[in-house]
Structure 1
Amino acid sequence: MTKFDKKYWEERYQNNQTGWDAGSITTPIKHYINGLTNKSIKILVPGAGNGHEFEYLAQQGFNNSYVLDIALAPLLNIKERLPQVDESRIIYTDFFEHNGQYDLVIEQTFFCALNPELRQQYAEKMHSLLKPGGILAGLLFRFPLTEQGPPFGGSAEEYKTTFSSLFTIKKLEEAYNSIKPREGKELFFIFEKK
């Protein structure tokens, strides 16, 4: 299996092989953010690529939000688009080496980009990054898991198995407002740290 390391992702951005990038924030995540009332909560958007979710958070006044990626190219794109944002909020590192404490982590095409062998490690790392009662929310793909990827698929049953020992599953259901290419293939979820 391909090694999805820093070099792999950097090359994907430099060669403009970013088919997962919707070009803007997707409807389910936008809708979820619009429902957040406390603008001071600390938010992380990991594996964010060009950071459309982070950009939307910044525009909405969530000034305690952070974006993280293992590839530098998309982070430079974010800096260019958002010159007013403090550079300390743009984190260039490997997610699994990052330390911090957050109230909310937003998941958008990061989980599906990881080698499926890392899924339990992802759940454990998310748990460690969240404050007590913290929330992991966003979208997970729902299509058969194959060796071809990224993106790698999965099912609601698999996600329950992966996350339920560490999180209370508040919501895990088909996204009713997915963007057209992803209709019927996304599950919107809200998991609360146990």
Structure 2
Amino acid sequence: MAGPSIEFWQQRFETGQTGWDRGAPHPQLQRWLDAGLLQPGHSVLVPGCGRGHELVPLARAGLLVRGLDYTPAAVVEARSRVEAAGLHASQAAVEQADVLQWQASQMLDRIYEQTCLCALHPDHWLAYAAQLHTWLKPGGLLLGLFMQARRDSAAEGRVEGPPYHLDINAVRALFPSDRWDWPAPPYAAEPHSQGWAELAVVLTKRG
């Protein structure tokens, strides 16, 4: 499998080498909650949930939340965060799973995509995009935070990451307009302490 292995991610979490982790929920999440895009009773999936910072505010807002991560150390930390918040697994469940293999038992209302796509090697992007489309209900929303982490070596054709740079043209190809409704640009960019930024884009699955 191209890209980082499970051992790579396990070592990062065990040693605290997680520079992508903000240490708190992403600021854009609250904006989407305030805008009514995430409503009580909605089922929402957080693939690549890491330490699970977003799981607690989503569950407290009344959504039915499931986080996925295939790194054992991340799953342990996310579950501990949910338990410390006094939430039951029926409100916020955390599952150890490979997003390229996992299948939803029923279609979802919302998917919160923040750190999973940029953590996957580009060789796996098409397969992951197909998974997202399969998991989501027609009319459901993919709330995407697309990492802008361009490196100078890209001019030489090098692929470096994680995080991998999510060029908006590549993202448009992954989520084409015959399957997804796109909002008109420009898209809000949220700065990251590591010098990166994330574009906030909400896609709607076409029926």
CA RMSD of aligned residues (A): 2.2
1:175 aligns with 2:173: no
Residue from 92, 96, 104 that aligns with 1:92: 96
1:65 & 1:149 partners in 2: Cα distance?
28
Change (3 A) 1:15 1:182: closer
Paired residues of 1:174 and 1:184 also in contact (CA < 8 A): no
Paired residues of 2:75 and 2:94 also in contact (CA < 8 A): yes
Q: Give the residue type in structure 1 aligned to 2:103.
A: N
2:87 & 2:175 partners in 1: Cα distance?
33
Deviates more, 1:143-152 or 1:89-98: 143-152
- Percent identity reads 28
Alignment of 1:58-73 (within 5 A): 58-62=59-63, 64-73=64-73
Q: Give the residue type in structure 2 aligned to 1:120.
A: L
Question: Displacement, 1:68?
Answer: 0.8
Q: Give the residue type in structure 2 aligned to 1:73.
A: A
TM-score of the pair, normalised by structure 1 = 0.88
Paired residues of 1:29 and 1:138 also in contact (CA < 8 A): no
Paired residues of 1:141 and 1:153 also in contact (CA < 8 A): yes
Deviates more, 1:125-134 or 1:141-150: 141-150
1:139 aligns with 2:132: no
Question: Displacement, 1:105?
Answer: 0.3
Question: Displacement, 1:49?
Answer: 0.2
Paired residues of 2:149 and 2:163 also in contact (CA < 8 A): no
Paired residues of 1:28 and 1:175 also in contact (CA < 8 A): no
Unmatched segments (≥5 aa) in structure 2: none
1:152 & 1:142 partners in 2: Cα distance?
8
Report the count of equivalent residues.
192
The 3-state SS of whatever aligns with 1:30 is helix
Question: Displacement, 1:191?
Answer: 1.0
Please name the residue that 2:160 is paired with: 148
Please name the residue that 2:171 is paired with: 159
Unmatched segments (≥5 aa) in structure 1: none
CA deviation vs aligned residue, 1:60-110 (integer Å, no higher than 9, x gap): 232x11111001212211222221333361111111221112110001121
TM-score of the pair, normalised by structure 2 = 0.83
The 3-state SS of whatever aligns with 1:112 is helix
CA deviation vs aligned residue, 1:20-50 (integer Å, no higher than 9, x gap): 1000011112211232362001000000101
Paired residues of 1:171 and 1:189 also in contact (CA < 8 A): no
